[in-house]
Amino acid sequence: QFMDLYSRHKAQPPGLALSSVQELTDGLRAPAASVSPKFFYNALGSKLFEAITKLDEYYPTRTEAGIFEASYPQIAEALAAGGVRSPCLIDLGAGNCAKAAALIPHLQPRQYVPVDISVDFLKDAAGQVQNSFPALDIVGLGMDFSSGLVLPEEVQHHDRVFFYPGSSLGNFHPDQALQFLQHIADPAQGKARGLLLGIDLVKDRATLEAAYDDALGVTAAFNKNLLLNVNDLLQSDFDVIQWRHVALFNQTQSRIEMHLEAMSELTVRWRGHARTFGAGERIHTECSYKYTLEGMAALLQQAGFRHVQYWTDPKQWFAVFWAAV
């Protein structure tokens, strides 16, 4: 089954969350303009991201896949030692579900719950997983979990294993990442067994910057496509031709930053608002934090996970952590 909990909440989300219109308007009107990276992922954005994962420069996806390939038996053993048997596998930011599809034969989950903000893209991907595993109970969730993860009652309450691969946790600021991890580790949130997490590690600047500014320009297109998604959501008049992709490693903060830079002075209009950008002025669109092995282990422990172990590749470019509750 598939539940779209995003589309109907985009305009009027429940609780304290801002509507997309309000959130985007606030970000664009701020002196240092920004747009949340969750707005990359419309249908085209998800396809562009999938293309990024196949680029030579973008090492995280294949490095993570290599770690899993080399370590499935040990990973399965660690989970079994943590009491995991036929779990409910909750795939956060599932995208094309490819990573979970490779994990499922090793983990034998009873229920698979792919979650993603890109509703139509996820619907197709979850359908393909169902074709590959016809007997598996699948509950697809189209939702935005960036400001909190509230799962519907269709999701099995016990033996939950959260799967958060691809270093997507790195797109949260560290204090938000801690909060998010605390929420998953919190025993009040159902009987979670633990979290299987993929995280990108600190490395040399050239490798990092090339991964976010590839020669083909796919990441530049991914970044600029955010403006098209914003145009759809706000009925704004961004012209992508007027913006340049910028990616840089901020060493002090240990993060890649992506920005869109106005190439000349221009004014953007939407819903009674207008914002003028000077030439060279930027909209900050993404942070991708890079951790050390020790830093991530400490963060997981601080969040309340009691047992933390990891697997990495020979160059220590990426790591897969198992954090048990």
- Which stretches of the chain bind ligand AVI, using CB under 6 A? 52, 60, 166-168, 170-171, 212, 219, 286, 288
What is the smallest separation between the CB atom of 114 and ligand AVI, expressed in angstroms? 15
Q: Minimum Å distance from CB 26 to ligand AVI?
A: 22
Residue 184, classified by CB atoms within 10 Å of its CB into exposed (0-12), middle (13-18) or buried (19+), is buried
Instruction: Look up tokens 């954005």; give the residue.
Output: 45
DSSP secondary structure of 215-269: TT-HHHHHHHHHHHHHHHHH-----GGGEEEEEEEETTTTEEEEEEEESS-EEEE
- Cα Rg, the chain, nearest whole Å: 20
Q: Which is nearer to ligand AVI, 156 or 171 (CB)?
A: 171
Contact 159, 325 (CB under 8 A): no
User: CA-to-CA distance for 277 and 140, rounded, in angstroms?
Assistant: 40
Strands of 255-262's sheet in order across? 243-250, 255-262, 282-289
Q: Which is nearer to ligand AVI, 27 or 93 (CB)?
A: 93
Residue (63 or 219) nearer to ligand AVI, CB? 219
Residue closer to ligand AVI by CB (options 88, 220) is 220
Minimum separation from the CB atom of position 303 to ligand AVI (A)? 19
CB of 247 to ligand AVI, least distance (A): 8
Minimum distance, C-beta of residue 37 to ligand AVI, in the bound complex (Å) = 7
Nearer to ligand AVI by Cβ, of 180 and 270: the residue is 180
Q: Shortest distance, CB of residue 307 to ligand AVI, whole angstroms? A: 25
CB atoms within 10 A of CB 26: 11
Of 183, 181, 163, nearest to 291 by C-alpha is 181
For ligand AVI, the nearest residue by Cβ is 288
Residue with smaller CB distance to ligand AVI, 168 or 189: 168
Minimum CB separation of residue 56 from ligand AVI in Å reads 14
Sequence-distant (≥ 6) Cβ neighbours of residue 135 within 8 angstroms:
none
Which secondary-structure segment (H or E) carries 307? strand 307-312
Q: How far apart are CA 227 and CA 146, in angstroms?
A: 20
Nearer to ligand AVI, 49 or 270 (CB): 49
